[in-house]
Structure 1
Amino acid sequence: MAQVTVRQLAEVVGASAERLLTQMKEAGLPHTSAGEAVSDEDKQTLLAYLKRSHGESTEQPKRITLKRKTISTLKTSGSQGKKTVNVEVRKKRTYVKRDPAALEGEAQADDVALETEAEEVAVAPAVEAEAAAPEPVVEEPVVAEVAPEPEFVPEPEPEVVEDPADMDPEILRQRAAARRKKQEEEEAAARKAAMEARKREEEERKRSQAEERTDKVDKAKETIKRPKRLHDAPPAGAADDSSPKRKKHGRLDRAEPLGRGKHRGHNLSLSDLDRAETGYSRRRGGRKKMRATHEEHTRHGFEMPTERKVIEVELPEAISVGDLSQQMAVKASVVIKELMKLGVMATINQILDQDTATLVVEELGHRPRLVSADALEESLEESLAAHTGEGTPEPRAPVVTVMGHVDHGKTSLLDYIRKSHVASGEAGGITQHIGAYHVQTDHGMISFLDTPGHAAFTAMRARGAKSTDIVILVVAADDGVMPQTEEAVQHARAAGVPLIVAINKMDKEGADPDRVKNELSAKEVIPEEWGGDTQFIPVSAHTGEGVDALLEAVLLQSELLELQAPRDVPAQGIVLESRLDKGRGPVASLLVQTGTLRRGDIVLAGLQYGRVRAMLDENGQPIEEAGPSIPVEILGLDGTPDAGDPFAAVESEKRARDIADFRQEKSRDTKLARQQAAKLDNMFESMAAGEKKTLNVVVKADVRGSLEAIQSALLDLGNDEVQVNIVSSGVGGIAETDVNLAITAGAVVFGFNVRADNAARKLIENEGVDLRYYNVIYDLIDDVKSALSGMLAPEMREEILGIAEVRDVFRSPKFGDIAGCMVTEGTVYRSRPIRVLRDNVVVYEGELESLRRFKDDASEVRNGMECGIGVKNYNDVKVGDLIEVYEVKEVARSL
């Protein structure tokens, strides 16, 4: 290449001459001006310096790896049709550049070996091996004494180490031929394997067909060998097949089952069997009825029906065509034809309403009987009401629910009353589910229900208010009325339950009971001393101050209510809580409201039923029976009922099973209809506002109440862009099936007071599923809220960095219009987007092409300095315009 000057080289590489001179100076070249010539050696020196400065190696590669992949297809046919098999052949060859000194030594050794030829020398084959296609080894004579071969460490995969440029062309041709031969052999092997596979499939298909034919023959033989139901006297004409004419034509005598050879009994056909059993023959294309007398027919006891049988058909509110036909003992096609006459096109699985089914039954001559869909439920309610009316009412203990805000001392107050330490055992001192206790005081027995105070447990507090007689509202004297305090008042009013206010933490310095009374008076809870009907009792759960007065107030209120319930009837009540125990199975906490529950009773609780195998009190001690107002735990249900479901003791297991199955089917139908409606709603919402981002979760909790609270809290999170989708939820430990479901749905697994078993833990470690344990609901909700916030799209905000005012415009033949500007605000950056404003109206948006201070390029120009600005692709800049420089920032959003 001819010599060029520094300026010409700068134009070729697209850089300025000053920058190129600076780099050449750093590379050690003597060039100082743009007009000096640059030789090829100077270019190589500059190139080597630039490579070193960028971290690239200047040495020539010592190894070159060539890869080749060929793909061919083979078509095969099998039992399932034609298949196409892809055959892929991969080859790789690595060439290693050898040391020139070693090559020169080998050449000298070859010359010495050819000249002397006096003694035998050791011949070492060339290092040659190829994983994909083995090639012929070329032996290369080397004299070990004169020039030993240089030490060489072979590669992990055997490869050829000769330089292709130094090899004989004949050897290269031989190796190419060997590679082609190897490829052809591999393709032939693949074709052979495919043909063998196809042959095996064909043999398997033939074998299966042969087995099917054998099974059919065996079944036919068994059918023929069945005893014949013949009459005592053979009918006339039965011996027609044994005529000499038929024997003359070589027909088999099938009337002789004891024949030998070709006339053996197992050669009988199905037509002979039909003829023997029914008196019909299938020969010669038609049926020839054999003569039989009336006495022979009546010998089998057959009599023609004299009148039509009318069936009473039970018709619920919805019934399928198949079920309706079964009740009327007719084929489904008869019912479908009758529906077509009525103008209704239906299939066998079509659901008919009660009116349509009534018309069909009447048209077919039967008598319909309308049945309510809730007949089982109605009969259960009638029987329970009858039992309750038969019992003798007796006084019972009051059921008291303790409600209030978080950390106001509800459990601590009960702790003092029960002389136990329940609060210390709760996670973080926060009650997570309903606790039920009954205590024997000096004034009588009282049953207490302790409800959670967190906002997520609203449903649990509502259940507590509905299943109670008196509500104790605990309010901290140093904290006053809080949101959950107001909510407890509303629940008590909605349930129509009297209220007693316990002003707790009176032992603290900042206690102010008058503040509590004033704030509750604003909520229409008026103390008795102020003319109201609500008792306010100052107490201290720490010192026990006022606890006796509180219990007296509770018993006084219960006497006013005159609480009574029968004991000599089957038990009824409400499910307070349920959980799945690993060793004992489903465990349900029940509150008996009427009657007596005994061990061995059949209990129907919501969608579950079972026999009471064991019954425990709140301390875990076994008991035999529990009367009204007594909370108990029972074992023996077939599942975990929902908290708040009513329970009842029924007379038989069959009735309990029928009602439970009916409720489960109804629940499934309702859930399916809700899901379909939700899908339609989601479809229209997504069409209108775009698809939402969803966080899939699998939730497992220790008890049913906590699970409901967690589900409600998670579903309340989210907005128009993100939402939580609960893929699965349940009570009990985390099993392998839960992890598999989370893997399929890409969900996060949450365990609330439960743990994963060994199989689930191994699967979680292998698949990398996100599993998190919690024992306080605050932490779970906060983590989910953070995850949803991370899924929100960031908000884009513009920030104005600087404004430059155009003072003059210069014409440049190279860059076009250049605006002479003064920076009036902020800093003007060259790499940021800009807007051109004229009379405060945006006339152009783009970017800067150049930014200079005097003759030098500048990356930024600060406030109060002059500069020259060239706007890219815009030549209409005028004096007085403003050039606004801005940037767009992403700001993280949160729920």
Structure 2
Amino acid sequence: MSEVTVRTLAKLVGTPVDKLLEQLAEAGMSFEGPDQVVTPTEKMKLLGFLRRTHGKAEPAAEDVAPKQITLKRRKVQEITVAAGKSKTTVAVEVRQKRTYVKRELVEEQDGQKLEREEAARLLADSKLRQEAEEAHLREQEKKRAEEEAARKAKEEAERAAREAVEAEQRRAEEEAARLAAEADASAQAARSEGHTKPVENRRAPGHGHGHPHKPARVHVRTDDAEEDVGGRFGKGELHLSKGGAARRGSAKAKRGRPGKEPARGAGGGQHAFSKPTAPMTREVAIGENIIVADLAQKLAMKGGEVVKALFKMGVMATINQTIDHDTAVLVVEELGHKAVKASENDAETALIAHTEVEGEKRARPPVVTIMGHVDHGKTSLLDYIRRTKVASGEAGGITQHIGAYHVKTEKGVISFLDTPGHAAFTQMRARGAKLTDIVVIVVAADDGVMPQTIEAIQHARAGGVPIIVALNKMDKSDANPDNVKQGMAQHEVTPEEWGGETPFVPVSAKTGMGVDELLDAISLQAEIMELSAVVDGRAQGVVVESSLDKGRGPVATVLVQQGTLKKGDYVVCGTQFGRVRALFNESGSQVDEAGPSIPVLMLGLSGVPDAGDDFVVVEDERLAKDVAQQREAKRRESRLVKQAGNRMEEIMAAMGQGAEQQVLNLLIKADVQGSVEALRDSLTDLSNDQIKINVISSGVGGITESDATLAAASKAVVIGFNVRADAAARRVIETHGLDLRYFSIIYDVIDQVKQVASGLLGVEVREEIIGLAEVREVFRSSKFGAVAGSIVVEGVVRRTKPIRVLRNNKVIFEGELESLRRFKEVVDEVRNGTECGIAVKQYNDVKPGDQIECYERIEVQRTL
């Protein structure tokens, strides 16, 4: 074995030579240089030193001693081999290697091997027992299923036999009642006439044993004497008293059919069968929607009869379609039954009882919504208050969806909602007005009252919310606050200094002028309103905005209105549910809870909720899931009702339109739910009689492969608003050649959809009259035939344009000019008040007094 030097040891352990020499010196061993040999003892001494230096205990003696020793032996010998007359010496090397292991280690390994074998055997036995138990359970389950099938078959047979007996019993009782009535009538006739009169027994075929062609007679006992009439069976006589014929007839009829057991309680008197005298009226419970098959089952009618009744009412629906509550009530009443309102779902009832917030109310911060026209400084004003920039991240500086923030000011906490200002987001601004306590309408002092300013006033009034007007951009030289006040006064928003109730605060979002006065006005208004809410309790509130984040899943910006929202709460939010995994404030910091009037970003829902949905904290996940599923089922039924069979009027209207109306299919994906709603509503409103804008699908998140496949099947234009298509979706789009367009501002979406729709509409060819000439005299020419000497009375006559010849304001010829001359020169056009000579091509019947009308055809692009 070769010797190990300090240099070799440093290379083996991956340590610099200088550092290893220092460590050897610290361990009490001095070496002169890196080429000095290191003995095994010195190595062990260095190892112990390093262990102590790093805080490790010294290894025990048994750990230091090797568990096995390998001995190697090498022996070289020379052997002389005779090869013919010469001798050759061969060197032979023998190597031996033996390994000696401690006896304790061998015994330990053998014990571990036995333990592993025992564990494997036990595991195999456990698996065998489990398989035997499963086979036994399957056999029992099969046996139970067979017994259940046999029991059902037996019950079905018994039910069929019971129904047959009851039907036979009813027929016998009806025959007995009819015979009794005839016997009573015969007795009455005999009593009145004083002699016995034979009564013919009109029996139903198959009842009794009398001859089918021989009329039977009955002996009837009157009050004074017994009257002799021919026997019913042709053998003996029957003596029937009054009222006894029914009972005896019933017994005879039952004996007349062998093998049939008479039913109990079926006889004459007070227990006889009575036929219903009026149709049965049922009470049918109907919810908001109901399937036609379920309605037929509740009415105990065939589904085809209900469908027929619906068709008579003008509703075309199949047995598997869903109809709404009003339609179901009408058809139930039409069929002669009574409809009642179905009770509410148990889960919704439990939710209402579960979420009643009780407790002491405390003062809460006001929720303020910033509204106003585009570019009047709403977000800039809010940025100055929050000391951060928001609009820099928006496309073109325009806020595309609602932002919610709460701000700690010297006057207390105030929650702000910043809504978009342009017209396409009217619905989002309306939602913001419903959530708020105070509306601040920002009006630029250098611009005045604009259309969306008026919309903000209308939304605030519709929600019954007080208004504060912020006169922004007061730092500009052309600011005119009086003009703004006059414009607002025209819409019944009167300033306080003019005797009204609305505060007008001059501010500047650029310099900060008047911002403190604006906060004072908000705080004063909040004090007057005495805003309060229950703090301790389960949280309730509204979804301000929602989106689908690729890394975090569904996220929702919620505004807490009652109680305290905490991390770990179970929440039901519209048709979604879940457990709150995390809460974030507007700066992105994670918080543990949020009280009333505080907006937070919530994670943990099962899907993306709709903006404007209410959220409620419940006790457990089961109730939240039940409520969400029932709401989803109700929404699906409502959607099916809208998509169900059209009424006859709608079908006839569609037939009247024919195939002239074009359809433009769109698939919309956006980053947040509010943008989806605004885009869908704005683009659908572009529809008219010539073209229909049809949004086949809309949702939150990126454009996926399924979206692209749906668009390819529907030949739709794909619109991505602040979202992009993934790789799989791009492949589908490229394969099918779909029209994919990305946008970040809604103005561009509307403009380009108008362009696409206009392209589908095509062009319209219009005729425009450009000139009119009156024929004064007709000349004959050998070259051109009849030449009309004319004067242009309107517009201009051009040689290259088509013409019409009018006589008494009626078109008698339509063609083109052969020539147009001014004196002897050929000209291209002749203007109003000028004489000319006109030769009409292939027409020589021009007369004085005719009019020659010159026109041109122009193509006009159809637009929305």
Within the candidate set 429, 447, 459, 1:491 is matched to 459
**2:720 equivalent in structure 1:** 751
Counterpart contact for 2:351–2:623, Cα < 8 Å: no
Q: Verify: 1:380 aligned to 2:380, yes or no.
A: no
Counterpart contact for 1:404–1:485, Cα < 8 Å: yes
- The 2-side partners of 1:321 and 1:512 are apart by 65
Structure 2 SS opposite 1:845:
strand
- CA apart distance, 1:771: 1.2
Q: Verify: 1:736 aligned to 2:705, yes or no.
A: yes
- The 1-side partners of 2:511 and 2:549 are apart by 37
- CA apart distance, 1:891: 2.6
Structure 2 SS opposite 1:636:
strand
Given residue 844 of structure 1, which amino acid in structure 2 is its aligned partner? I
- CA apart distance, 1:573: 0.5
**2:560 equivalent in structure 1:** 592
Q: 1:715 to 1:321 in 2, by over 3 A?
A: closer
Worse overlay, 801-810 or 630-639:
801-810
Within the candidate set 577, 582, 607, 1:639 is matched to 607
Q: 1:758 to 1:477 in 2, by over 3 A?
A: same
The TM-score, its normalising length taken from structure 2, stands at 0.60
Q: Verify: 1:725 aligned to 2:679, yes or no.
A: no
**1:781 equivalent in structure 2:** 750
**1:507 equivalent in structure 2:** 475
Q: Flag the structure with larger Rg.
A: 2
Counterpart contact for 1:408–1:474, Cα < 8 Å: yes
Structure 2 SS opposite 1:402:
strand
- The 1-side partners of 2:395 and 2:475 are apart by 25
Structure 2 SS opposite 1:372:
coil
Q: Verify: 1:601 aligned to 2:599, yes or no.
A: no
**2:112 equivalent in structure 1:** none
Structure 1 SS opposite 2:404:
strand
Counterpart contact for 1:571–1:595, Cα < 8 Å: yes
- CA apart distance, 1:617: 1.3
Counterpart contact for 1:520–1:526, Cα < 8 Å: yes
**1:462 equivalent in structure 2:** 430
**1:807 equivalent in structure 2:** 777
Which structure 2 residues correspond to residues 206-225 of structure 1 after superposition, within 5 A?
none
Q: Which runs of 5+ in 1 are unaligned?
A: 1-221, 231-269, 279-312, 326-331, 363-367
- The 1-side partners of 2:682 and 2:524 are apart by 38
Between the two structures, name the one with larger relative contact order (CA 8 Å, sep ≥ 6).
Answer: 2
- CA apart distance, 1:589: 0.7
Given residue 421 of structure 1, which amino acid in structure 2 is its aligned partner? K
Which structure 2 residues correspond to residues 511-530 of structure 1 after superposition, within 5 A?
511-530=479-498
Counterpart contact for 1:602–1:610, Cα < 8 Å: yes
Question: Could you list the per-position Cα deviations for residues 821-840 of structure 1 after superposition, in whole angstroms to 9, with x for gaps in the alignment?
Answer: 3463676556543211235x
Counterpart contact for 1:850–1:857, Cα < 8 Å: no
**2:582 equivalent in structure 1:** 614
Q: Which runs of 5+ in 2 are unaligned?
A: 1-134, 155-282, 311-316
- The 2-side partners of 1:394 and 1:426 are apart by 37
Q: 1:861 to 1:821 in 2, by over 3 A?
A: farther
Counterpart contact for 2:367–2:417, Cα < 8 Å: yes
Counterpart contact for 2:774–2:849, Cα < 8 Å: no
- The 2-side partners of 1:699 and 1:356 are apart by 39
- CA apart distance, 1:845: 2.7
- CA apart distance, 1:844: 1.1
Question: Could you list the per-position Cα deviations for residues 409-456 of structure 1 after superposition, in whole angstroms to 9, with x for gaps in the alignment?
Answer: 111111011110112221111111110011111121111110111111
- The 1-side partners of 2:353 and 2:449 are apart by 45
Counterpart contact for 2:821–2:827, Cα < 8 Å: no
**1:441 equivalent in structure 2:** 409
Worse overlay, 701-710 or 828-837:
828-837
- CA apart distance, 1:471: 1.0
Counterpart contact for 1:827–1:860, Cα < 8 Å: no
Within the candidate set 500, 512, 525, 1:544 is matched to 512
- The 2-side partners of 1:323 and 1:347 are apart by 12
Question: Could you list the per-position Cα deviations for residues 776-797 of structure 1 after superposition, in whole angstroms to 9, with x for gaps in the alignment?
Answer: 1111111112223333442513
- The 2-side partners of 1:756 and 1:483 are apart by 36
Counterpart contact for 2:670–2:702, Cα < 8 Å: yes
- The 1-side partners of 2:641 and 2:718 are apart by 27
**1:425 equivalent in structure 2:** 393
Worse overlay, 666-675 or 503-512:
666-675
- CA apart distance, 1:611: 1.3
- CA apart distance, 1:561: 1.1
**2:439 equivalent in structure 1:** 471
**1:67 equivalent in structure 2:** none
- The 1-side partners of 2:321 and 2:735 are apart by 47
- The 1-side partners of 2:667 and 2:305 are apart by 48
- CA apart distance, 1:856: 11
Question: Could you list the per-position Cα deviations for residues 671-693 of structure 1 after superposition, in whole angstroms to 9, with x for gaps in the alignment?
Answer: 23223477877644444445322
- The 1-side partners of 2:294 and 2:792 are apart by 88
Given residue 847 of structure 2, which amino acid in structure 1 is its aligned partner? K
**1:52 equivalent in structure 2:** none
Structure 1 SS opposite 2:380:
helix
- CA apart distance, 1:393: 1.0
Q: Verify: 1:876 aligned to 2:845, yes or no.
A: yes
Q: Verify: 1:410 aligned to 2:381, yes or no.
A: no
- CA apart distance, 1:394: 1.3
- CA apart distance, 1:392: 1.7
- The 2-side partners of 1:770 and 1:762 are apart by 13
- CA apart distance, 1:500: 1.1
Structure 1 SS opposite 2:590:
coil
**1:400 equivalent in structure 2:** 368
- The 1-side partners of 2:829 and 2:332 are apart by 88
Given residue 749 of structure 1, which amino acid in structure 2 is its aligned partner? V
- CA apart distance, 1:375: 4.9
Counterpart contact for 2:806–2:813, Cα < 8 Å: no
Within the candidate set 515, 522, 529, 1:554 is matched to 522
Question: Could you list the per-position Cα deviations for residues 587-621 of structure 1 after superposition, in whole angstroms to 9, with x for gaps in the alignment?
Answer: 11100000111111111111111111221111121
Worse overlay, 852-861 or 449-458:
852-861
Q: 1:442 to 1:843 in 2, by over 3 A?
A: closer
The TM-score, its normalising length taken from structure 1, stands at 0.58
Counterpart contact for 1:802–1:885, Cα < 8 Å: yes
Counterpart contact for 2:284–2:298, Cα < 8 Å: no
Structure 2 SS opposite 1:794:
strand
- Paired positions, count: 574
Given residue 611 of structure 2, which amino acid in structure 1 is its aligned partner? A
Counterpart contact for 1:823–1:862, Cα < 8 Å: no
* Root-mean-square deviation over aligned CA pairs: 4.1
- The 1-side partners of 2:665 and 2:822 are apart by 60
**2:196 equivalent in structure 1:** none
Question: Could you list the per-position Cα deviations for residues 24-43 of structure 1 after superposition, in whole angstroms to 9, with x for gaps in the alignment?
Answer: xxxxxxxxxxxxxxxxxxxx
- CA apart distance, 1:542: 0.7
Question: Could you list the per-position Cα deviations for residues 750-794 of structure 1 after superposition, in whole angstroms to 9, with x for gaps in the alignment?
Answer: 111111111112222333221111111111111112223333442
- CA apart distance, 1:475: 0.9
Given residue 747 of structure 1, which amino acid in structure 2 is its aligned partner? A
- The 2-side partners of 1:868 and 1:315 are apart by 85
- CA apart distance, 1:885: 2.8
- The 1-side partners of 2:331 and 2:810 are apart by 72
Counterpart contact for 1:797–1:891, Cα < 8 Å: no
Which structure 2 residues correspond to residues 297-316 of structure 1 after superposition, within 5 A?
none
Question: Could you list the per-position Cα deviations for residues 533-578 of structure 1 after superposition, in whole angstroms to 9, with x for gaps in the alignment?
Answer: 1111111111111111111111111111111111121110001000
Q: 1:516 to 1:820 in 2, by over 3 A?
A: closer
Structure 1 SS opposite 2:388:
coil
Q: Verify: 1:700 aligned to 2:648, yes or no.
A: no
Within the candidate set 731, 736, 740, 1:767 is matched to 736
Question: Could you list the per-position Cα deviations for residues 234-293 of structure 1 after superposition, in whole angstroms to 9, with x for gaps in the alignment?
Answer: xxxxxxxxxxxxxxxxxxxxxxxxxxxxxxxxxxxx9xxx9xx99xxxxxxxxxxxxxxx
**2:177 equivalent in structure 1:** none
- CA apart distance, 1:333: 13
**2:766 equivalent in structure 1:** 796
Structure 1 SS opposite 2:541:
strand
Which structure 2 residues correspond to residues 686-697 of structure 1 after superposition, within 5 A?
686-690=654-658, 691-697=660-666
**1:236 equivalent in structure 2:** none
